[in-house]
Amino acid sequence: MSEDRIFASEEAADGTFRFDETVAAVFPDMLQRSIPGYVASIVAIGCLAHRYVQAETHCYDLGCSLGEATLAMRHAIPAPGCRIIAIDNSTAMISRCQKIIDDDDGATPIDVVASDIRDADINNASMVVMNYTLHFLPIPDRDEMIAKIFAGMNAGGVFVLSEKVVDEDEEIERVLVDLHHDQKRRNAYSDSEISRKRAAIENVLVPESQSAHMTRLTSAGFSHVGVWLRHFNFMSLLAIK
């Protein structure tokens, strides 16, 4: 696994974060060192696939990047006749994802699609995953995206939404940000790397509060919504139709 050193120097970062080949090459390391609870979220996606995926249905990984959530579903689905659709708009991510999928020996077929997730045709779905993806969409597009997911899901299906969030209490928010940065330092990111990454991603990743996500999911029509994982300012919700 290649080490993430993208923001180690000013020359390496031009001030804007994008999912290009440079990021794709180090993405597994970036995720594990940057997102608290990331591994736990992938493990849970597999457990939920085993529990909720229905026979002869579709599963979607929206914003699939290199396909970790896709593979977690693939290796846990017990139901026959299922298909996974993995979608991402980054050609660099999709290219690498396809190679990873091709080298995997799982039985459930996977379609790897280069597309904007907002254009996805979601239908007959018993499981949909957005693992740290929604916060990259413009806020005005998020209600429509969640409504589209709900409309394409079968009764009893599960939606997994993982996001970076902001706390509504300003003091708690400051503490959580500091704790996250402390973790990054323990994971061998320098203060300059932390600062450059934060500046580069500021207008690309726009987080919302936990309550905003809960309201959006219940307004879309999900019958049961709850937080199953939160580590600092990173959380994962379950929504059941």
Q: What's the pLDDT score for residue 14?
A: 58
CA distances from 177 to 36, 110, 166, 200 (A): 12, 37, 9, 16
Q: How many CB atoms lie within 10 A of CB 43?
A: 12
Full pLDDT tens readout for the chain, 241 residues: 789 888 887 665 556 788 999 999 999 999 999 999 999 999 999 999 999 999 999 999 999 999 999 999 999 999 999 999 999 999 999 999 999 999 999 999 999 999 999 999 999 999 999 999 999 999 999 999 999 999 999 999 999 999 999 999 999 999 999 999 999 999 999 999 999 999 889 889 999 999 999 999 999 999 999 999 999 999 999 999 9
Determine the Cα–Cα distance for residues 104 and 39; give it in Å rounded to an integer: 19
Contact 239, 221 (CB under 8 A): no
* DSSP tag of 163: E
Architecture of 38-122+139-152+207-240 per CATH? Answer: 3-Layer(aba) Sandwich (3.40)
Q: What is the pTM of this model?
A: 0.95
Distance CA 180, CA 107 (A): 38
Quote the crossing angle between the two packed helices 191-201 and 170-186, to the nearest 10°. Answer: 130
237 CB contacts (<8 Å, ≥6 apart)?
160, 161, 162, 163, 213, 214, 217, 225, 226, 227, 228
Helix (H, G, I), strand (E, B) or coil at 53: coil
Sheet containing 224-231, strands listed edge to edge, beginning at the edge strand earlier in sequence? 110-114, 83-88, 58-62, 125-131, 153-164, 234-240, 224-231
**What pLDDT score was predicted for residue 12?**
56
Residue extents of the structural domains in the chain: 38-122+139-152+207-240
